[in-house]
Amino acid sequence: MKILVCIKQVPDTTEIRIDPVTKTLVREGVPSIMNPDDKGGLELALQLKDKFGAEVTVITMGPPQADVMLREAFAMGADRAILLTDRKFAGADTLATSYALAGAARTLDWDLIITGRQAIDGDTAQVGPEMAEHLGLPQVSYVAGLEYDGKSFTIKKQTEDGYQILQFEGKGLLTVLASAFKSRYMTVGGIVDAYNKEVEIWAADKIDFDESRLGLKGSPTKVVKSFAKELKQPGVIHEVDAEQAVELIVSKLKEKHII
Amino acid sequence: MDNTQYKNVFVFAEQRDGVVQSVALELIGKARDLAADLGEKVFAVLLGKGIAASAHRLIEYGADTVIVVDDNNLKDYITEQYTQAMYQVVVEYKPSILLFGATTIGRDLAPRIAARLGTGLTADCTKLEISEDTKEFQMTRPAFGGNLMATIMCPNHRPQMSTVRPGVMQKCAPDASRKGEIINFAPKFDSSKFSVKLIKTVKEEKASVDISEAKILVSGGRGVGCVAGFDKLRELAKVVGGEVSSSRAMVDAGNMPHDRQVGQTGKTVRPDVYFALGISGAIQHLAGMEESECIIAVNKDKFAPIFAVADLGIVCDLNTVVPLLTERLKKEMAK
């Protein structure tokens, strides 16, 4: 079995702050991480590698700095890593991103494509399903479990009020939940390996793209403005002991006619 | 692309087991505003099997026209079947705007259709509006985990597609006397593409209400610490008739199930009272709860960002406050 895992390097959004004066994003000092759902997807691929000897290729589209994340994937156990990097890809929305990734996927050999459900910097959950559409593949999103009997995949898909069991044979694309696949740590041997292995760098001309569909040019959606969210006016803060705290809460609940 | 051929505001009227989902009615409410600003109509698209009776409900809530696709292939939601049906509706009726609920179904279906149509899709919008001067459709959404808001347009492609999370838009008051048109549409299905089979659907027993429907939420974060800590919160919730929810940290740690998570990657809630107990208030959490009517925050750290949105902020250890508060409220309720 050959598996292609799509991963993305993202800023750790829990570490992002807004500059109170300029109202812009403070990016300095914000660590870049492998997107958590993508890491869950890589974990699923590596579990299949452990069980069935699958060959795992990771691919990302991003700036040259994404090399670090691909080496982390090597250290976890990935066999091959591809970095799609070119100014022509820049400014891509989800449709242009999925077009580029699907184009790259067409030149590779795989039985299964795995992506994370969504990336924490955009939270769109679109690139996986859009790739599946470009490639004409069946998709299952929100994957929380998977079994493979040598012929068909049986998948547990999480829903709002429970789960579904879905099944398909042949090639397909899955989008995976991080919470269902707790990722393994890098091994010492893996880390050493990670710097001996080669990350393949692919520019746009490596693939027969329709360039009008790449990057900003190929993106139907345009960001026309961005701004910091106005938070509402805070109420009063009391530093009190537990008894006083209870009094304050009870009077607030009475004021709101809850009790 | 000739944009002038495309008009009217369409809503994917999501149903499950024949029940129209609340988010569909909320979207129809929003679609009414947009259609009024554009001088266009609101269409609801209802896909399923044996669902035609729900069409009137969509009209009561504000749809001018309901397109019904009643077909055995659409009995249960499966990506390809629904994509084929919805795609053909769009090609036939050419909407200018197409809205989906940002549910597990909407977020699975909408990108598939957007890619098939080659158009743009904006996820999880919190504000949809028509600009006064140019009559352009503007979609605003949080980005970077809720740290920034971005306004997005889809100027040269149609339809302009967006998803909106449940609980964000407001329903219209239903009007049983409202009149509308119902159209039955029969798409042609290509069953050779139906490769995914649904084996079974399992509903997990829930003794509790969906947190986005709860009037009172008792929400715990890192300060609660462990599974046992949540038992105390459950007791408090029981006394006030509320539900227990939590921050992402507690879900990631496995202390709470995912359907209890409030925030950017969880659910958007706006209860009458939101107790934020031991929740520091990362921006992605605030994004999911700051619209609550009244926020009561208890946290040991007086610099916790949660206090910036709290109506009542208490710097104290929740583990001492919660049991006392529960006892006190029991007495209040008994009065």
Domain extent, residue B263, equals: 211-334
B155 in the same domain as B22: yes
> What's the pLDDT at A83?
98
A190 located within any domain: yes
Our CA angle for A204, A135, A124, nearest 5°, is 80
What confidence category does residue B178 fall into, taking pLDDT thresholds of 50, 70 and 90?
very high
**B 301-330 → A contacts, CB under 8 A:** 302, 307-317, 320-321, 324-325, 328-329
Domain extent, residue A110, equals: 2-213
A248 located within any domain: no
Q: What would the pLDDT profile of B288-307 be if each residue is shown by its tens digit?
A: 998 888 999 999 999 999 99
Residue B144 touches chain A, beta carbons under 8 Å: yes
A141 located within any domain: yes
A219 located within any domain: no
Question: Which residue, of B193, B223, B253, is where some domain finishes?
Answer: B193
B160 located within any domain: yes
A47 located within any domain: yes
B198 located within any domain: no
A71 located within any domain: yes
H or E element that contains A19: none
DSSP B48-84: ESS-GGGHHHHHHTT-SEEEEEE-GGGSS--HHHHHH
B200 located within any domain: no
B74 in the same domain as B184: yes
Q: Name the residue among A108, A99, A150, A81 with its Cα closest to residue A2.
A: A108
**Residue B263 CB coordination number (10 Å):** 25
Q: Which two tokens stand for residue B152?
A: 């997005």
**Residue A182 CB coordination number (10 Å):** 11
- Closest residue of chain A to B124, computed from CA coordinates: A124
- Closest residue of chain B to A158, computed from CA coordinates: B104
Which candidate in A120, A131, A153, A221 is best for mutational testing of the B interface (most B CBs within 10 A)?
Answer: A221
Our CA angle for B228, B271, B101, nearest 5°, is 105
In this structure, what CATH number is given to the domain that contains residue B185?
Answer: 3.40.50.620
What confidence category does residue B206 fall into, taking pLDDT thresholds of 50, 70 and 90?
low
B258 in the same domain as B119: no
Mean pLDDT is lowest, of A208-212, B13-17, B119-123, B211-215, for B211-215
Q: How many domains, chain B?
A: 2
How many Å apart are CA A155 and CA B184, to the nearest integer? Answer: 34
B199 located within any domain: no
Q: How many domains, chain A?
A: 1
Residue A16 touches chain B, beta carbons under 8 Å: yes
Q: What would the pLDDT profile of B117-152 be if each residue is shown by its tens digit?
A: 999 999 999 999 999 999 999 999 988 777 788 999
Residue A116 touches chain B, beta carbons under 8 Å: no
B216 in the same domain as B187: no
The answer on pLDDT for B87 being more than 90 is: yes
Question: Which residue, of B130, B161, B193, is where some domain finishes?
Answer: B193
Our CA angle for B170, B270, A36, nearest 5°, is 105
B232 in the same domain as B175: no
> What's the pLDDT at B207?
56
A158 located within any domain: yes
Question: Which residue, of B150, B167, B193, is where some domain finishes?
Answer: B193
In this structure, what CATH number is given to the domain that contains residue A95?
Answer: 3.40.50.620
B178 in the same domain as B48: yes
A162 located within any domain: yes
